[in-house]
């Protein structure tokens, strides 16, 4: 089973989930680094993957998505376009991104795409079962029971992570994974800058998606004079046509990103032991790295 990690989801939850008193020897916060690798250890023990790729944000807010929707993730952007990150996290992210290849853990990224797109691409490339680890609801669109694609959802942290198959997605949101994007676009998602369609909340979105088979069917019904779509909703959908077309493109994870092939096998030993040792001392995370190695050792032996 291939485990695809949305790395940013994991280090953000580690940052907020561990006390700020966890420090490196030089006084910098180190909780995100420690928590990230402890999180990987927990995931490895719990799900026993045979392969793992940590997918990175090559571009957290790609220009092509901004061109489609100027407000995309705008609330999280600074005046210079950079992402608004909490104090002390940037250095820890750099440490994590240095430790992963030194440990021999596969990473993947593309400068024009988000981690979601890289995850979708890697999932599309393999025939083996896939477990996507993320705190991003958008990736529920990748759940596929027929191909054995599931999501470990980190919204409440690692210890309370929930495993989602198709039935679980439908139970929680009222739509099947194949229509999750339609549902989210209709309802809207303020965190991503998606306003939704006027007068359509979550419950109405579920009803419309399930009745008309997603946004394509809904737009067709809105254009058909004799359809069963109520007049008020027909008008709203008609007026939102341009938004719906652009928002679906923005919200759909791209599954054909030109990401280089990578060996996802769990490492049997660090690729660069000296680099690992130096970073472990610098960030005081030797124990966490040891726990991670012990967690993957049975699968990597």
pLDDT of residue 227: 76
19 C-beta neighbours (distance < 10 Å), count: 8
Average pLDDT over residues 90-107: 97
pLDDT of residue 223: 86
Cβ-Cβ contacts under 8 Å for 149 (sequence gap 6 or more): 123, 129, 130, 132, 142, 143
CATH of the domain at 220: 1.10.150.20
Do residues 189 and 63 share a domain? no
Residue 120: inside a domain: yes
Full-prediction pTM beyond 0.85? yes
Do residues 147 and 54 share a domain? yes
Average pLDDT over residues 70-86: 87
- The total number of structural domains that make up the chain: 2
Residue 94: inside a domain: yes
pLDDT of residue 299: 46
Residue 197: inside a domain: yes
Do residues 24 and 122 share a domain? yes
Residue 228: inside a domain: yes
Residue 157: inside a domain: yes
Do residues 201 and 265 share a domain? no
Is pLDDT of 88 > 60?
yes
> Which string of DSSP letters, residue by residue, matches 107-166?
EE--TTS-HHHHHHHHHHH--S-EEEEES-GGGGGG-BTTTTEEEEE-TT-STT-EEE-H
182-235 pLDDT tens trace = 999 999 988 888 999 998 999 999 999 999 989 999 999 988 876 788 888 888
Q: How far from 271 is each of 159, 187, 274, 276, CA to CA, in Å?
A: 29, 46, 9, 9
Average pLDDT over residues 238-256: 95
Q: 301 versus 31: which is more confidently predicted?
A: 31
Confidence of residue 78 (pLDDT cuts 50, 70, 90): confident
Is pLDDT of 300 > 50?
no
Is pLDDT of 301 > 80?
no
pLDDT of residue 298: 59
Average pLDDT over residues 66-79: 90
142-171 pLDDT tens trace = 999 999 999 999 988 888 899 999 999 999
Residue 8: inside a domain: yes
CATH of the domain at 276: 3.40.50.1010
Per the rule left: phi > 0, alpha: psi between -120 and 50, beta: everything else, 227 is beta
DSSP 52: E
Residue 301: inside a domain: no
Give the separation between CA 40 and CA 13, rounded to whole angstroms: 12
Do residues 146 and 186 share a domain? no
Residue 204: inside a domain: yes
Average pLDDT over residues 94-102: 98
Q: What residues make up the domain containing 193?
A: 177-251
As beta bridge partners, residue 150 has 131
pLDDT of residue 75: 86
Do residues 243 and 264 share a domain? no
Mean pLDDT, the chain, rounded, equals: 93
């Amino acid at each position: 089973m291939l485990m695809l990690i949305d790395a940013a989801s994991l280090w953000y939850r580690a940052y907020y989930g561990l006390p700020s008193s966890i420090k490196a020897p030089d006084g910098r916060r180190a909780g995100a680094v420690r928590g990230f690798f402890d999180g990987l250890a927990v995931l490895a023990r719990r799900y026993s993957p045979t392969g793992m790729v940590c997918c990175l944000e090559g571009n957290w807010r790609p220009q092509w998505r901004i061109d489609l929707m100027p407000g995309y993730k705008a609330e999280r952007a600074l005046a210079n376009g950079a992402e608004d990150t909490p104090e002390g996290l940037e250095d820890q992210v750099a440490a994590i991104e240095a430790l992963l290849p030194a440990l021999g853990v596969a990473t993947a990224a593309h400068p024009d795409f988000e981690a979601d797109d890289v995850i979708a691409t890697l999932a599309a490339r393999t025939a083996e079962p896939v477990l996507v680890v993320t705190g991003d609801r958008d990736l529920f669109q990748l759940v596929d029971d027929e191909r054995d694609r599931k999501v470990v959802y980190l919204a409440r942290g690692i210890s309370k992570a929930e495993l989602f198959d198709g039935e679980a997605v439908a139970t929680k949101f009222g739509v099947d994974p194949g229509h999750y994007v339609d549902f989210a676009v209709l309802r809207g998602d303020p965190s991503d800058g998606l306003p939704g369609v006027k007068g359509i909340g979550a419950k109405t979105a579920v009803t419309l998606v399930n009745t008309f088979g997603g946004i394509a069917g809904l737009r067709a019904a809105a254009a058909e004079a004799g359809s069963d779509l109520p007049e008020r909703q027909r008008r709203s959908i008609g007026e939102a046509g341009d938004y719906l077309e652009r928002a679906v493109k923005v919200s759909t994870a791209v599954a054909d990103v030109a990401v280089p092939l990578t060996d996802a096998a769990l490492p049997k030993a660090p690729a660069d032991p000296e680099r690992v040792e130096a970073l472990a001392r610098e960030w005081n995370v030797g124990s966490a790295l040891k726990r991670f190695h012990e967690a993957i050792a049975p699968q990597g032996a």
